[in-house]
Chains A and B, each alone.
Chain A
Amino acid sequence: MSNLLKGKTGDWEIVIGIEIHAQIISQSKLFSGSSTLFGSEHNTQVSFVDAGMPGMLPVINSVCIEQAVKTGLGLNAKINNFSIFDRKNYFYPDLPQGYQISQFEQPIVGNGEIMIDLDGNTIKKVRIERLHLEQDAGKSLHDQHPSYSYVDLNRSGIALMEIVSMPDMSSAEEAQAYIKKVRNIMKYLQTCDGNMDEGSLRADINVSVRKPGNELGIRCEIKNVNSIKFIGQAIEYEAKRQIDIIEDGKVIKQQTRLFDPKKGQTRAMRSKEEAHDYRYFPDPDLLPLVFTDEFVESIRKTLPELPDLKKQRFVDEYGLSPYDAGLLVSEKDTADYFEIAATGSNSKLVCNWIAGELFSFLNKENKRIDESPVTPVNLGKLINLIDNGTITGRIAKDIFEMMFKSGDDPMTIVDSNNMRQVSDEGEIEKIVDLIITSNPDQVKALEIKPNLMGWFVGQVMKETQGKANPKAVNEILIKKLITKD
């Protein structure tokens, strides 16, 4: 096992299970018709149901049910044709009913499994225990008034899927890969936008440590870690903390902990003794959720191609390496971009350009691929210009930069800036001759240092603003300087 951590007393294994809370993409909330639009004025998306007014009753939103089933199918999970909504009872000002409608003993989706990609080539299976539906709470605002807290109920009642994994992960990287994969599957399915900044995807991480082969250790749950990076930090910190405690001869207390991103540490929130008794019981306002196999099959038919299958197809159809294919399908938008750009152009080159220039420019500008000023069609055109010798690979980089700035078609840029490749040997020879005659010292030095050849190539390219066909330049330089015929 490569994931072992070294402690004073030997190797330790980390055991990680993850609960993902994913906000369902739907126009309205799980049990009311209120809008789910993010970022609206406080308390403007609140129905009487969401506010827990007397006599109000929940009515299930069928879109959310379909989304949950779709997600379950995407996680290769068993869809339960009979499930029940339960009430989870606790008091909090942002929980208007005094209970959260959730699913406890009979969730809508049962056991499933997904494959996660690790460092390009290794694949690992992670089992899913269940997926259940629940409503979100509102939000307490503590920064609006010096002595009062305010409550915003816009989020109250929004549909969430809680996806619970088995404790199958053993490193921060695996945990991160798992969350990325689940997020990616949901984005493919369009059941959750996966946006962690807006809180539409949140994760609670269960961490314990043990000596390899031993029973599971006592776990701590780290709540609401809201970025993939923090998840890694939180796990690493927490595992080390637990190992230190055990190696000091003390015992881990089962507790809920919070991650502090500023300090990079976890701290205790509440212990097991302080845990709520949620008094779950079936919600008498809602009938059991019952559906037929035909319903499930009708949803299965609407499933898009999911990342694993797409990856295989990219390998088969485009001749990409599994690593490259994996890279492209890891975001649905990237895969879509690739397929458009690769239509009628060299797919391997397209892949390299996406992974290289495009990603680096997008990163620099902090843009998503679907916001790229270089459209996939234009990238395909650019690749074709390189492929058919209209431009050199080097000048293509300049053109790409101009395309990124202006959004223009590459051919327009080439024409208006006179950037076509110079392949006319006579023209290149003239320039080579000029450089040889004006640099006699370098010509002499070349006899001792053969790698000065590169300097000559550079000079020619400089003189032609990168437009000279590099192959032709090389051949002519060799002819004039080495073989001297």
Chain B
Amino acid sequence: MAKLNELCLHEARDGLKNKSFSSRELITDHIDMMESSRSLNAFITETPEIALKSADSSDEKISKNTNGPLEGLPIGVKDMFCTKGVLTTASSKMLSNFIPPYESTVTNNLWDNGAILLGKLNNDEFAMGSSNETSFYGPVINPWIKNNDKSPLVPGGSSGGSAASVAAHIGVGSLGTDTGGSIRQPAAFTGSVGLKPTYGRCSRWGIIAFASSLDQAGPITRNVKDNSILLESMCSHDLKDTTSSSKEIPNFEKAVGKSIKGLKVGIPLEFIQDGMSDEILKMWENGKEWLKSSGAEIFDVSLPHTKYALPCYYIIAPAEASSNLARYDGVRFGHSVSSDDINNMYELTRSDGFGEEVKRRIMIGTYVLSSGYYDAYYLKAQKVRSLISNDYNEVFNKVDVLLTPSTPNSAFAINEKYDDPLSMYLNDVFTVPANLAGLPAISVPSSKDKNGLPLGLQLIGKPFDEETLYSFANIIEESSSFESIDNKWWLQK
């Protein structure tokens, strides 16, 4: 019999419900997979004891028919979510000793629904990065490798561990956070499905903040249906987060398989970039064809301020980060370097506790908020952000969903872009606008490039219309017949 970790979320859910196997059996296979996949470096903290204990309690609930929607299912959690009593590091030396005395709202919702914590997943430090190389705990290795070249590739970032673990069949799904593409880009690089919900759909309470006006939690799974199931359990209206939405939470799973006939798809012309590879253009073209043949109408649309999205993002996100990360001062918790003088203590603690990329962004953020520069940078970026939002509002009067590539390229090699922050930042060019406009967006695997690496298509939707995204994503998934990893080269015998 195949190992149970090969099952996707809804298969495992149904198997548990039908009592084909126990949660303990399911969890045990996932723990085995987690332990034999350590070479991927996807997990910072493994929690097998918690998982097994929870499995027994889930089995009891299943036997009594008091099971929640995610009862007994193993989920990996990005190390940006605070988990009560379990080390939560944000992949930073600064929090390398931080054990939160509280549980984030989103993870709490999952546990309330019966899900089981498998472990805490590696990410770029404080979610700043697009390759998972900025982690204090070292890079995550993409389970995908090229056909002819076995050098290790990045899984994307910042939710690199979340995407890599799901692609490697460790856990039936994972939680990520997405500030500028941190769910969708790694999902695209690992052949996974990753959704960034509408801003406000998931509570930010208990998630370590990077850029508060952009951060949003979301699910990464191996297929669209799984994604819809996991999202539904994550959402809630949380009075502890004033930016969380009180909108009704629909049954997202029902949207999967729904017809898209007569719905309108916009192709934003500004997303066609100079020097875009034929493979990406071809993938995009295929996507259009699939949607068209399922009855959708395709329109060219314009989002005139698209080219300002990336510079705008790299002002607003670091500005907010520079302030959000001020609390890491060595006084109350986390890493601390002592000194006789308080200013020295701050300097030593923060120099030693933060990595290069985090420091770079704190510096940028401090600069753009400084007196004399605020108007020219931060204020202007906020205005641009409004213009970008307006672009999307306009376009969504005409179409129901936008179709774009998720990334300009497939996964790249470890160290390939690490010393070139600009080219690294360019990786977020297609994903950043949805964060600036607060819109939901999903990345779905669509094809493989010439090296056999996954590529993803992105769908961007209207505010709080994740359902339409799931209906469209399901069509792409069915049309692409994308095959998941068969060569588990990383396994330790």
Complex Cα distance A279/B240, Å?
Answer: 26
Residue ID in chain B nearest A277 by CB atoms: B371
For residue A53, CB closer than 8 A to chain B, the reply is yes
For residue A59, CB closer than 8 A to chain B, the reply is yes
For residue B150, CB closer than 8 A to chain A, the reply is no
Complex Cα distance A48/B242, Å?
Answer: 16
Which listed residue (A52, A54, A281, A285) contacts B369, Cβ 8 A? A281
Contacts from B to A (Cβ < 8 Å): 81-82, 88, 90, 95, 98, 100-102, 104, 204-209, 211-213, 239-243, 319-320, 322-323, 325-327, 329, 331-333, 342-343, 346, 366, 369-371, 374, 378
The digit string for A56-67, where 1 denotes a CB below 8 A from any CB of B, is 111110000000
Is there contact, CB below 8 Å, between A57 and B204?
Answer: yes
Instruction: A55-B102, A57-B241 given; name 11 further pairs at CB < 8 Å.
Output: A52-B332, A53-B327, A54-B333, A55-B204, A89-B369, A96-B331, A98-B325, A98-B327, A279-B374, A280-B369, A287-B243
Which listed residue (B208, B320, B322, B332) contacts A55, Cβ 8 A? B208
Query: Contacts A54-B82, A279-B366, A284-B213: A97 and B326 contacting too (C-beta < 8 A)?
Result: yes
Residues 238-295 of A at the B interface (beta carbon under 8 Å): 277, 279-281, 284-287
Which listed residue (B81, B100, B205, B342) contacts A93, Cβ 8 A? B342
User: Can you give 8 contacting A-B residue pairs, CB < 8 Å?
Assistant: A93-B331, A93-B342, A279-B369, A280-B369, A280-B374, A284-B212, A285-B242, A285-B243
Complex Cα distance A96/B325, Å?
Answer: 11
Complex Cα distance A93/B369, Å?
Answer: 22
- Inside 8 A of B82's CB, which chain A residues have their CB? 54-55
Is there contact, CB below 8 Å, between B326 and A99?
Answer: yes
Chain B residues touching A, majority SS:
loop
Residue ID in chain A nearest B88 by CB atoms: A54
Is there contact, CB below 8 Å, between B323 and A87?
Answer: yes
Complex Cα distance A468/B102, Å?
Answer: 79
Which listed residue (B102, B212, B239, B331) contacts A48, Cβ 8 A? B102
- Inside 8 A of B370's CB, which chain A residues have their CB? 277, 279
Complex Cα distance A277/B368, Å?
Answer: 12
- Inside 8 A of A285's CB, which chain B residues have their CB? 209, 212, 242-243
Residue ID in chain A nearest B365 by CB atoms: A279
CB of A289 to closest CB in B, whole Å: 11
Residue ID in chain A nearest B101 by CB atoms: A48
Is there contact, CB below 8 Å, between A55 and B206?
Answer: yes
Is there contact, CB below 8 Å, between A98 and B104?
Answer: no
- Inside 8 A of A52's CB, which chain B residues have their CB? 327, 332
The digit string for A130-152, where 1 denotes a CB below 8 A from any CB of B, is 00000000000000000001010
Query: Contacts A59-B242, A99-B323: A281 and B331 contacting too (C-beta < 8 A)?
Result: no
Query: Contacts A48-B101, A277-B371, A287-B242: A57 and B342 contacting too (C-beta < 8 A)?
Result: no
Complex Cα distance A149/B331, Å?
Answer: 11
Q: What count of chain A residues pass the 8 Å CB interface test?
A: 29
Among B208, B213, B369, the most chain A Cβ lie within 10 Å of the Cβ of: B369
Complex Cα distance A344/B52, Å?
Answer: 80
Is there contact, CB below 8 Å, between B101 and A98?
Answer: no
Complex Cα distance A99/B325, Å?
Answer: 10
- Inside 8 A of A57's CB, which chain B residues have their CB? 204-205, 240-242
- Inside 8 A of B204's CB, which chain A residues have their CB? 55, 57
For residue A323, CB closer than 8 A to chain B, the reply is no
The digit string for A89-124, where 1 denotes a CB below 8 A from any CB of B, is 101010011110000000000000000000000000
CB of A102 to closest CB in B, whole Å: 13
Is there contact, CB below 8 Å, between B327 and A54?
Answer: yes
Complex Cα distance A58/B241, Å?
Answer: 7
- Inside 8 A of A53's CB, which chain B residues have their CB? 100, 102, 327, 332-333
Among B104, B240, B242, the most chain A Cβ lie within 10 Å of the Cβ of: B242
Query: Contacts A57-B204, A279-B370, A284-B213: A98 and B323 contacting too (C-beta < 8 A)?
Result: yes
CB of A401 to closest CB in B, whole Å: 56
CB of B139 to closest CB in A, whole Å: 23
Is there contact, CB below 8 Å, between B327 and A59?
Answer: no
Is there contact, CB below 8 Å, between A89 and B242?
Answer: no
CB of B359 to closest CB in A, whole Å: 15
Is there contact, CB below 8 Å, between A281 and B327?
Answer: no
Complex Cα distance A54/B100, Å?
Answer: 8
- Give the total number of A-B pairs whose CB atoms are below 8 A apart: 99
Chain A residues touching B, majority SS:
loop
Residues 206-248 of A at the B interface (beta carbon under 8 Å): none
Residue ID in chain B nearest A140 by CB atoms: B342
- Inside 8 A of B322's CB, which chain A residues have their CB? 89, 279
Residue ID in chain A nearest B343 by CB atoms: A91
- Inside 8 A of B101's CB, which chain A residues have their CB? 48
- Inside 8 A of B240's CB, which chain A residues have their CB? 57, 59
Complex Cα distance A56/B90, Å?
Answer: 14
CB of B383 to closest CB in A, whole Å: 13
- Inside 8 A of B371's CB, which chain A residues have their CB? 277, 279
- Inside 8 A of A149's CB, which chain B residues have their CB? 342
Is there contact, CB below 8 Å, between A55 and B207?
Answer: yes
For residue A51, CB closer than 8 A to chain B, the reply is yes
Among A52, A149, A279, the most chain B Cβ lie within 10 Å of the Cβ of: A279
Among A277, A280, A281, the most chain B Cβ lie within 10 Å of the Cβ of: A281
CB of B354 to closest CB in A, whole Å: 13
Complex Cα distance A57/B238, Å?
Answer: 11
Complex Cα distance A51/B333, Å?
Answer: 10
In the A-B complex, the 8 residue pairs with the closest CB atoms? A98-B326, A284-B213, A279-B369, A284-B212, A52-B327, A55-B206, A54-B208, A277-B371
Complex Cα distance A96/B326, Å?
Answer: 9
Complex Cα distance A89/B319, Å?
Answer: 11
Residue ID in chain A nearest B327 by CB atoms: A52
- Inside 8 A of B331's CB, which chain A residues have their CB? 93, 96, 151
- Inside 8 A of A93's CB, which chain B residues have their CB? 329, 331, 342
Residues 37-78 of A at the B interface (beta carbon under 8 Å): 48, 51-60
Complex Cα distance A50/B391, Å?
Answer: 39
The digit string for A296-334, where 1 denotes a CB below 8 A from any CB of B, is 000000000000000000000000000000000000000
CB of A376 to closest CB in B, whole Å: 45
Residue ID in chain A nearest B244 by CB atoms: A57
CB of B60 to closest CB in A, whole Å: 31
CB of A33 to closest CB in B, whole Å: 10
Is there contact, CB below 8 Å, between B100 and A60?
Answer: no
The digit string for A364-404, where 1 denotes a CB below 8 A from any CB of B, is 00000000000000000000000000000000000000000
Which listed residue (A51, A58, A98, A284) contacts B320, Cβ 8 A? A284
- Inside 8 A of A99's CB, which chain B residues have their CB? 323, 326
Complex Cα distance A48/B332, Å?
Answer: 11
CB of A43 to closest CB in B, whole Å: 10
CB of A352 to closest CB in B, whole Å: 55
- Inside 8 A of B332's CB, which chain A residues have their CB? 51-53, 96
- Inside 8 A of A151's CB, which chain B residues have their CB? 331
Is there contact, CB below 8 Å, between A281 and B100?
Answer: no
Is there contact, CB below 8 Å, between B241 and A281?
Answer: no
CB of B460 to closest CB in A, whole Å: 22
- Inside 8 A of A58's CB, which chain B residues have their CB? 242
The digit string for A421-439, where 1 denotes a CB below 8 A from any CB of B, is 0000000000000000000
Complex Cα distance A55/B103, Å?
Answer: 10
CB of B296 to closest CB in A, whole Å: 36
Query: Contacts A279-B366, A284-B213: A54 and B98 contacting too (C-beta < 8 A)?
Result: yes
- Inside 8 A of B343's CB, which chain A residues have their CB? 91
- Inside 8 A of B374's CB, which chain A residues have their CB? 279-281
- Inside 8 A of A54's CB, which chain B residues have their CB? 82, 88, 90, 95, 98, 100, 208-209, 327, 333
- Inside 8 A of A286's CB, which chain B residues have their CB? 242
Complex Cα distance A287/B98, Å?
Answer: 29
Is there contact, CB below 8 Å, between B346 and A91?
Answer: yes
Residue ID in chain A nearest B211 by CB atoms: A284
Is there contact, CB below 8 Å, between A281 and B329?
Answer: no
Among A57, A98, A99, the most chain B Cβ lie within 10 Å of the Cβ of: A57
Complex Cα distance A55/B327, Å?
Answer: 11
Residue ID in chain A nearest B346 by CB atoms: A91
Residue ID in chain B nearest A281 by CB atoms: B369
